[in-house]
Structure 1
Amino acid sequence: MAAAIGIGVPALAVPLAHADDLAPDLVVSALPAASPKPGDVYDQSVTITNRGTAPADGVTFRVRLTRGLDFPQHADGCTYSTVADHVRQALCELDTVVRPGATLTTPVRFKALPEALMESVEYGTSPTGAAPGEGFDDSYHRLALTADSTADLVAEGDEAEGAPGSRVTVTATLRNNGPGWILNQESDDQPALMVRIPPGTVAREVPEDCAPFGIDGPTGPSEPGRPKYVCWPVDHTLVVGQSLRYTFVLEIGKTAQDTQGEVTATSVYGIHPAFDKNPANDTALLSVDVPGGGGPGTNTSGGTTTGGTTTGATTTGGTTSGGDTGSGGAGTEGRGNDPHGQSTGTTGTTGTSGSSGTYGSASTTSGTGTGTGGTLAATGSDGMPLLAAAAVGATALGGLVLVAVRRRNTK
């Protein structure tokens, strides 16, 4: 920004006051909103008006920019520095007297960097013209803006192997591929990673930054034993190229087989962020291999019938079909085996002339088995909107459902 100013002729009536009450009262006009593209330069001016009863002898004007913005050039009379959280600051001394009722103008200039996305600009002075503090009032403002750009959130899964009853460690990862960095305190698009625990396992150790997820948002502090978690950075910040890793310790059930959970790049409230235009890499798998388990989602068990033989029934993708039966044979019954509950499919009809019975499928929703036919970076804010969570319907677990087949004898 440049330190050039324009002095206005007093236009306001100066109120009468006692000598002890005389004081300047500077107010600063608001900057217009913008959505610059990376590389664009924002060039606007603000007006400073003294509505007080005494002159302001000199004005200290401050501008602060979040890390996706920068000053296009340095101006005389301004001191430049970087403060907490990579915030760029210009502190400019406007060497002039602003009398009661008078105005002056000063420019505010900044450019959008390649990583610009969610940004904010602080600008102004104090009521007396001294350096501003950290709060906001009529003399010191904040402008939130979103650059015309995107950020690509990526989910990365993991794979582990363990015997039934043992514990394994898996790490779910959220990465920002850019080009924009993320600092979101203005909307519900706060970056997060949704973690669905693989069916047949129980989360025994959970990161502190991960909370149980309910229907449309976090339901409380971190705790083990839940089927679904949402993990996010406390400061809602994710810079370009940064990866956040969340490690879970899972206990494998004693009857578990190979199983898969799911991780999804999303927001804290389970809503796909508007700034992420590439959903293709939003989802990955958390796989737990259990030696001797028969492969993901597959279980084989024999069965017998009267009046004929029955081949073993096989479950693939959570659907169980009865084996071939002889005349008069009865089909087998599929039962979903889930760590958080069981579901029972319908019983097949009696086989006729070698036909086979087809039975209820088993699926898992939010850890509960069901069967068909069965049961700005340290800058503050003036008027930050409250976060409003949008309702999101419960979604099915991404892992394949493990299904066992029990034997029925016909007498």
Structure 2
Amino acid sequence: MRQRIRTSHLRTSAAFVAAAAIAAAVPALAAPSAYAEEGAADLVISELPKTSPKPGDVYDENVVITNKGTAAADGITFRVRLTRGLDFPAQVPGCTYTTVEDKVRQALCEIDEVIEPGASIETPVRFKALPTALMEAVQYGTSATGEAPGEGYDDSHRRLTLTADSSADLAAVGEDTEALAGDRQSITVRLRNDGPGWIQNQESDDQTALMVRIPKGTTASVVPKACSPFGIDGPSGPGGTPGKPTYVCVPDDNTLDVGEEVPFTFTLDIGKDTKTTTGEVKATSVYDIHPAFDKNPANDKAAIRIAIPTDYEPDPTPSEGSSGGSGTGGNGSSGGNDPSGQSTGGSGGTGGSSTGGSGTGSVDGNLASTGSDGTPLIAGSAAAAAALGAGLFLAVRRRRAAGAETG
């Protein structure tokens, strides 16, 4: 047998008087609705007034439950559900409080009242706005016969959407990496919520998203399922479709909690003739509309930058006084010197190699010691290891294109 509570737990004595007055004042509501079954109750719930509470505010309003059917409703199961930025200010005896899917807070209360055809009662709906409140929804009501409501909405079970007097700061996070022309490189871009409000659009499908513009000279070959091609004013294909210039990426469940950062990883094929290139990420919505709750546009955009080496340029010709060896010292060997200063251990040949020349070519941005996917890079066609003190350093250079003699 279900537990019931008297409505005195849910409202004051004055509310009882108001309920009786309403019942007497609305005899016209006694007519059954067109959908009421003969000999059945048909409960209708009034709508809650709109609100835009500040975090910390308590909302306290009554709804009217009217029986427009032809039979009495003997006891009512009344349910209230609140999205995660809202909570109940206090627990009422006789109500059961739980947290259901998607962090929704629920109160299920049994009202021990008989509502005759044409009669009405009142019951309160109370909630408070939490510090994280922003875009919220309140579900409230019963079923037409007074049993527990289902999952849809109708005249007996309603839904109120509201926007708290608060904000949330979306931030786009880009990527700065290095790669080689003709190679493949992964990039990870992110969408972050710096709060104070959590984010989930309760009123439309224009959910928060990250716009990703692929750098020129590259092709997106592997795309996250959460990222759809973007057309003129919205998504234009299924998520994960490769080869498009622009994508719009959405978080799981269209939800961003405060402090949450959602990553999206793409794999890019880099053209053989591609030079250092850039793309862009932007915090926006699925239809590329700037969210009204975001009051700080300064961090809405960020760059995707891929530094790629330029064409190789040979070393300049060594000149007198350069740090490189010259004369009869051979190809840079360190042969011993006699007291007269003559080289005694150098190998044959003339014109030693300069130790200060650069043979790796220029890079717009430093090329890291690893390339795409962590593969070690060798910038030239020859490498030598030399001991210096107790340490061992790897010197990598390209052979001079001018045809330096090796002896």
Q: How does 1:295-314 map to 2 (within 5 A)?
A: none
Please report the RMSD computed on the Cα atoms of aligned residues, expressed in angstroms: 2.0
CA distance in 1, matches of 2:80, 2:143: 13
Q: How far has the Cα of 1:43 moved from its partner?
A: 0.6
Q: How far has the Cα of 1:160 moved from its partner?
A: 2.1
Indicate how the Cα distance of structure 1 residues 188 and 99 shifts in structure 2: closer, same or farther if over 3 A, else same.
Answer: closer
Q: How does 1:250-289 map to 2 (within 5 A)?
A: 250-289=268-307
Counterpart in the other structure of 2:27: 12
- Say whether the 8 Å CA contact 2:31–2:118 is kept in structure 1: no
Counterpart in the other structure of 1:84: 101
CA distance in 1, matches of 2:311, 2:211: 27
- Say whether the 8 Å CA contact 1:189–1:273 is kept in structure 2: no
Q: Could you tell me which of 128, 151, 155 is aligned with 2:168?
A: 151
| Paired residue secondary structure (1:22) | coil
Indicate how the Cα distance of structure 1 residues 255 and 101 shifts in structure 2: closer, same or farther if over 3 A, else same.
Answer: same
Q: How far has the Cα of 1:293 moved from its partner?
A: 5.6
| Paired residue secondary structure (1:182) | coil
| Paired residue secondary structure (1:238) | coil
Q: Could you tell me which of 66, 72, 90 is aligned with 2:83?
A: 66
Counterpart in the other structure of 1:125: 142
Instruction: Tell me the amino acid that sits aligned with residue 213 of structure 1.
Output: F
Instruction: Tell me the amino acid that sits aligned with residue 12 of structure 1.
Output: P
Q: Could you tell me which of 198, 205, 223 is aligned with 1:181?
A: 198
Instruction: Tell me the amino acid that sits aligned with residue 149 of structure 1.
Output: S
Counterpart in the other structure of 1:51: 68
Q: How does 1:4-403 map to 2 (within 5 A)?
A: 4=11, 6=16, 7-8=19-20, 9-10=23-24, 11-12=26-27, 21-187=38-204, 189-221=206-238, 222-233=240-251, 235-292=253-310
- Say whether the 8 Å CA contact 1:180–1:240 is kept in structure 2: yes
- Say whether the 8 Å CA contact 2:31–2:68 is kept in structure 1: no
CA distance in 1, matches of 2:104, 2:216: 45
* TM-score, normalised with respect to structure 1: 0.68
Q: How far has the Cα of 1:292 moved from its partner?
A: 3.1
- Say whether the 8 Å CA contact 1:176–1:241 is kept in structure 2: yes
- Say whether the 8 Å CA contact 2:136–2:202 is kept in structure 1: no
- Say whether the 8 Å CA contact 1:200–1:253 is kept in structure 2: yes
In structure 1, the gaps of 5 or more residues are 300-411
- Say whether the 8 Å CA contact 1:256–1:293 is kept in structure 2: no
| Alignment deviations for residues 181-225 of structure 1 (CA, whole Å, 9 cap, x no partner) | 111141465211111111111111111111111221111113111
Q: How far has the Cα of 1:256 moved from its partner?
A: 1.1
CA distance in 1, matches of 2:189, 2:294: 19
Q: How far has the Cα of 1:12 moved from its partner?
A: 2.4
CA distance in 1, matches of 2:69, 2:201: 37
CA distance in 1, matches of 2:209, 2:56: 28
Q: How far has the Cα of 1:33 moved from its partner?
A: 0.4
In structure 2, the gaps of 5 or more residues are 1-6, 314-407
Instruction: Tell me the amino acid that sits aligned with residue 246 of structure 2.
Output: K
CA distance in 1, matches of 2:199, 2:111: 34
| Paired residue secondary structure (2:233) | coil
Indicate how the Cα distance of structure 1 residues 85 and 15 shifts in structure 2: closer, same or farther if over 3 A, else same.
Answer: closer
CA distance in 1, matches of 2:311, 2:159: 59
- Say whether the 8 Å CA contact 1:188–1:267 is kept in structure 2: no
Are 2:21 and 1:3 aligned? no
CA distance in 1, matches of 2:151, 2:49: 22
- Say whether the 8 Å CA contact 1:188–1:269 is kept in structure 2: no
Q: How far has the Cα of 1:147 moved from its partner?
A: 0.5
Indicate how the Cα distance of structure 1 residues 15 and 179 shifts in structure 2: closer, same or farther if over 3 A, else same.
Answer: closer
Counterpart in the other structure of 1:345: none
- Say whether the 8 Å CA contact 1:63–1:121 is kept in structure 2: yes
- Identity among equivalent positions (%) equals 62
Runs of 4+ deviating beyond 4 Å: 13-16
| Alignment deviations for residues 345-376 of structure 1 (CA, whole Å, 9 cap, x no partner) | xxxxxxxxxxxxxxxxxxxxxxxxxxxxxxxx
| Alignment deviations for residues 291-337 of structure 1 (CA, whole Å, 9 cap, x no partner) | 2369xxxx9xxxxxxxxxxxxxxxxxxxxxxxxxxxxxxxxxxxxxx
Q: How far has the Cα of 1:114 moved from its partner?
A: 0.4
CA distance in 2, matches of 1:236, 1:253: 34
Aligned length: 292
Normalized per residue, the structure richer in strand is: 1
- Say whether the 8 Å CA contact 1:28–1:138 is kept in structure 2: yes
